[in-house]
Chains A and B, each alone.
Chain A
Amino acid sequence: MKKRMISLIIVLIGIPAVILLGATVFSGVKYVYFTLIVSALSLAPFLISFEKKEHTVTYLVLIGVLTTLSVIGRLLFSVVPAFKPVSAMVVIAAMYFGPEAGFLTGALSALLSNFYFGQGPWTVFQMAAWGLIGFFSGLIAHRLKTSRIFLLLWGAVAGVAYSMLMDIWDAIFADGTVMLSRYLSFLVSSAGFTVMYALSNVVFLLVLAKPIGKMLERIQTKYGI
């Protein structure tokens, strides 16, 4: 619990502080670097605290498999553009295994899928974006499990949030600085994708969240973990 508080403090206070610092004190320095540093900063506390904790090997393998599932989903559903189960799988991992697992599944999904779709500086940012979606989903896991409507709403919100976060990166990457007009133009041009992200999250959560919960429960009784 204490560790979770520390991660939360870093995410909620540390990152905005760095951004503020960057904007005022070091205003000449490039925003791309800031974004990358901020992303890396949001990854570090989770990864470090995760490495220090005790885990069963089965837990680690399960997270690995959930990660692969989200990436394979991206390939399987390539018929419909932007209709991907990645965020949904991240939310599901968080729902049943908690914020840490959600974070890892999210961050590693980004990393793994970029082994196939191309790595680059954006990987760090994408890892942070999906990781945080997983982390916050884990914090409200109880609500997600008890209320279906809440779960679907959250899925839609996560889809929109992910799309808007990635637009921030694209805008900063393009200009090396924050230009509102550029960001707005990206937001508009990717609106179709944003809607699809939200929609696919809702659909996948609707179809998969419960069955996967059942499967995990079954595995728990069968193997006693």
Chain B
Amino acid sequence: MDLLTVKDLSFTYPKTEHKTLDGISLRIRRGGFYLLCGYTGCGKTTLLRLLKPELAPFGALAGEIAYGEEFGAPPAPHEIGMVTQDPNEQIVTDKVWHELAFGLENMGLPQAEIRIRTGETAGYFGLTDKFNSPTAALSGGEKQLLSLAAAVITNPKLLLLDEPTSQLDPITAMTFLETLARINRDFGITVILAEHRLEEVFSMADTVLAMDGGRLIACDTPKAVCAALQDSRLFPGFPTAARLWKALGAKGEAPVNVREGKALMREACGEKTLLFAPPEKEKTDAPAVLAAKGLWFRFAKDGADVLKNLSITLRQGEVFSILGANGVGKTTLLQVLAGLRRPYHGKIKLNGRELSAYKRGALYKNGLALLPQDPKTVFLKDTVRADLADILITQGCKKEDAEKKAAEAAARMGVTDLLDRNPFDLSGGERQKCAMTKLLLTEPAVLLLDEPTKGLDAFSKRQFVSLLRTLSAEGRAVLAVTHDIEFAAAVSDTAAMLFDGELLAAGTPHAFFRGNTFYTTAAARMARAHVPGAISVEEIAEAIAKAIAKAQ
């Protein structure tokens, strides 16, 4: 018998008609590393939570989940570990050592044993320095590692992870995933990981489970799943190497990481270097909307400088993205530009007038708008409709007009059917669209976006890119700070890197990504030797197709 068998599982939430899970059958081997992928709303969270009895959602359940003989009946809490997206809601105590000990305390283990196990676990996860720290003092990545450590410490037979890295930057996310792979390898703990950012994780898994619309549409090795799903709507979210493989005609086995992608490039191009000319963009002489010059900023009088003599100009209709590592001051820069924090030196001008010359109310009407990292903070009311109306009323709109205007704005953004929902019940992508709708009601000339693609799946991301392009065509300027290199490459007119308080290498995305080794797209890394200058799968495929056509 397997570790876990799911037979014909269906699930419907209360007060809804459609089945969130529809006839799922599945066998989980002992010691496997399973990747569960699919777009937001495909049912992967529901499936994972149903496997963990204490977190199982309420609703109508049909079918069967059978646990192997190593589990108690029903499985005890410590036998199945779970890590979810939001580190803040799953950490339950205020000290790191206590968080580690929590599960063991609940098992009623003796003090001496808890002391040893917390100590060695802290060592394994690199949390020794933080052992006596308050949990609130940890970074996002450390919090997720702590949650993982606290789940592993009870020696579970099964680890369930629901998009554990969606709130982390790529480098921290990799550390987390590598630790997870090590646990799977070192202790043979079975892992089921739900993720939508597949670039790196795809080749880590030994089995990929793909879900769409509540059904399990594939369950096989990563390569086999690529082959099976190359025409499905999930494929655009798959690793770049696999997408390149498809673009080049899907011959042979699918590559699933950059190394294999490079091999594919060598096969396709031989020793030749193909010419690729990046699309020429006309130089715009659009007027500058937001211009900052010589900004210096620090948080405390005797603290370190976060911004050092930083200058930036944002033109009408320009989409500008700033990349940079964690803690480099990207959010701070946005807050300074938005007028929320004051630089101690330097000038910021909006439409030629200094920020300080605006009254605060005037600055945020037809002026600046900021989408914060957590779009939940944009909402104040219990329905989206009330929230949209609220901001209009704050701006001096009459109540009846406000309702009407809000409905119009929602229709324009395609969120009409979300109007009566509670902002907390929306998915990441939906919530972000509603937050943008609210921001746009202030008719901003400049949109400042803080990590706008955090937690979005590939589908919502593409929608968001086209939304930003539309806004830019309307003449609005957009400045996004982001970790998401692929997003920056797809959306920007200008890209730059923030490092040590300064902006480095501002230029067109092609110029910018071509020059970088780390801060560049997976496609550019694969293309480097054979199609230098190309930064996306489409560009590589186009260059190769042209070369083939020429040769014939």
Contacts and interface: CB of A to CB of B under 8 A. Distances in A.
Nearest to A222: B425
Interface stretch (A28-36, A141-149, A210-218): A210-218
B382 A218 contact: yes
Interface in B372-397: 382
A223 interface: yes
B58 A211 contact: no
Interface in A169-225: 211, 214-215, 218, 222-224
Contacts of A214: 382
Contacts of B422: 218
Nearest to B58: A224
A214 B422 CA distance: 12
A214 B382 CA distance: 9
Contacts of B58: 223-224
Contacts, number: 9
Given A215-B382, A223-B58, 4 more contacts: A214-B382, A218-B422, A222-B425, A224-B58
Nearest to A219: B424
Contact of B382 (A211, A222, A223, A224): A211
Interface string B421-447: 010010000000000000000000000
A215 B379 CA distance: 14
Interface string B250-293: 00000000000000000000000000000000000000000000
A61 to B, nearest CB: 8
CB-CB nearest 4 A-B residue pairs = A224-B58, A214-B382, A218-B422, A215-B382
Interface of B: 14, 58, 382, 422, 425
B14 to A, nearest CB: 8
Contacts of A224: 14, 58
9 contacts: A211-B382, A214-B382, A215-B382, A218-B382, A218-B422, A222-B425, A223-B58, A224-B14, A224-B58
Contacts of B14: 224
A222 B425 CA distance: 9
- Report the interface size class on chain A: under 10
A215 B383 CA distance: 11
Contacts of A218: 382, 422
Contacts of A222: 425
Contacts of B425: 222
A115 to B, nearest CB: 11
A23 B382 CA distance: 54
B390 to A, nearest CB: 13
Nearest to B54: A57
A223 B422 CA distance: 14
A222 B422 CA distance: 11
B199 to A, nearest CB: 34
A222 B58 CA distance: 9
Nearest to A223: B58
Nearest to A214: B382
A99 B425 CA distance: 31
Nearest to A218: B422
A104 to B, nearest CB: 19
Nearest to B15: A221
Contacts of A215: 382
Q: Most B CB atoms within 10 A — which of A214, A215, A222, A224? A: A222
Contacts of B382: 211, 214-215, 218
Nearest to B59: A224
Contacts of A223: 58
A224 to B, nearest CB: 4
A218 B425 CA distance: 11
B376 to A, nearest CB: 14
A224 B425 CA distance: 15
A212 B497 CA distance: 44
B78 to A, nearest CB: 16
A211 B390 CA distance: 15
A219 B162 CA distance: 22
B305 to A, nearest CB: 29
A224 B422 CA distance: 17
Contacts of A211: 382
A224 B60 CA distance: 13
A215 B380 CA distance: 12
A223 B56 CA distance: 10
A214 B14 CA distance: 19
A222 B13 CA distance: 10
Nearest to B92: A61
A211 B425 CA distance: 17
Nearest to B381: A211
A117 to B, nearest CB: 18
A222 B382 CA distance: 14
A223 B58 CA distance: 7
Interface string A125-167: 0000000000000000000000000000000000000000000
B105 to A, nearest CB: 14
A212 to B, nearest CB: 11
A202 to B, nearest CB: 22
Interface string A50-69: 00000000000000000000
A218 B381 CA distance: 13
A223 B57 CA distance: 8
A10 B14 CA distance: 45
A214 B381 CA distance: 11
A166 to B, nearest CB: 29
A152 B346 CA distance: 51
A114 B58 CA distance: 40
A190 to B, nearest CB: 34
A131 B382 CA distance: 30
A218 B383 CA distance: 12
A139 B222 CA distance: 62
Nearest to B422: A218
B430 to A, nearest CB: 16
